[in-house]
Structure 1
C-alpha cells in the first residue's frame, strides 16, 4: 500500500507462547515459539492506562496532575470454537492449566505491525448460546507488561 492508505483489520491474528521472553524486547519476544489461536472474533481495545497522581496546593488552589503507575489492564477475547485448533486446545475449559501461569502474546495486524506483551489467561468460559451464533468461548487476559511493537 502507498503512504496515506488505510487498513482494515481483516487478516489480524493472535498467537500465544508459554512463559515470558528472556529479554523484554522484540528480539526476545520473537524468539519464543508461538501457536496461533484460530477463531478470534475480535481483540478488544487494549494498551496501558496510568493512574492519576494529583494533589492540590493551598497557594493557588489548583490540582496538579501526573501520570503514575501503569496498568496493562484486562480484556475478554471472544472465540468461535474451531475443533482441533492447536491454539484453542491450550486454553479451553477442561484443560489442566494454571490460570496464574505466564503467557506471551503476539498480535499481528493486517498491515504487518506486530505487538508483543505478556500476561495471564484466566478461566476460559462458554460464550452465550443463541440461535444466531456459533459455539464459542471467552478468553480473559490480564496484561502485565508494556507493549513491544515490532
Structure 2
C-alpha cells in the first residue's frame, strides 16, 4: 500500500527554537495553519565542488556547503484563521522568522485534521516566510494564497510530546 499525505497538518511558531533539536522546538508555542492544500518541503541541498586532478585527468565531484530548501505552500482561505493571519504577518515582516511543524496526527478529527496525540510523527524546520500572494481571481479559482518558506537549518524529526 502506498501512503499519501492526507491528514497531515501544518503548525507555525512565530519564533526560532533556542536549539535546533526536539527540545528547542517543543518549547515553542504552536498555532495550526488551517486550510492547507500543499505543504512546504523540508530539506537541505548541497552544492557540488569539482576537484580536477592533473595526474589522472579526471575531475571528481565533492559535496559542498549545504543550504536549506526553499519551497511554497498553499492554503484555501478560512476567514479569521489565526494561523493564516500569522503566516501573512510573518511573510510581510522585515525578518519573517518562523518555525514550522508538519505533523501526522492520529487522534480524533474535529474538522481541522486529525488531532495530535503523544507519539505522533512530527518534522520541524526553522527559517523565514516571504512572498505571500493571494490566488489570482478567475472563474475557476478559489480564495486562498501561496507563501514561500526558506529553511535555515537541518530538519529535525521527532514525535509529539506529552
Length-normalised TM-score, structure 2: 0.81
Q: How does 1:1-150 map to 2 (within 5 A)?
A: 6-92=2-88, 97-109=92-104, 112-150=120-158
Moved more, 18-27 or 84-93: 84-93
Contact 1:12 1:107 in 2 (8 A): yes
Tell me how far apart the structure 1 counterparts of residues 42 and 156 of structure 2 sit (CA, whole Å).
13
* C-alpha distance after superposition, 1:86-130 (max 9, x if no partner): 10111237x894141311111113673211010001131111222
Change over 3 Å in CA distance of 1:120–1:133 after alignment to 2: same
Q: Secondary structure at the match of 2:50?
A: strand
Contact 2:10 2:100 in 1 (8 A): yes
Offset of residue 52 of structure 1: 0.2
Which runs of no fewer than 5 residues in structure 2 stay unpaired? 107-119
Length-normalised TM-score, structure 1: 0.87
Tell me how far apart the structure 1 counterparts of residues 41 and 97 of structure 2 sit (CA, whole Å).
21
Contact 1:7 1:110 in 2 (8 A): no
Tell me how far apart the structure 2 counterparts of residues 75 and 140 of structure 1 sit (CA, whole Å).
6
When the two chains are superposed, the root-mean-square deviation of aligned CA atoms in Å is 2.0
Kindly indicate which of the two structures has a greater share of residues assigned to strand: 2
Q: Where does residue 114 of structure 2 map in the other structure?
A: none
Contact 1:99 1:121 in 2 (8 A): no
Which runs of no fewer than 5 residues in structure 1 stay unpaired? none
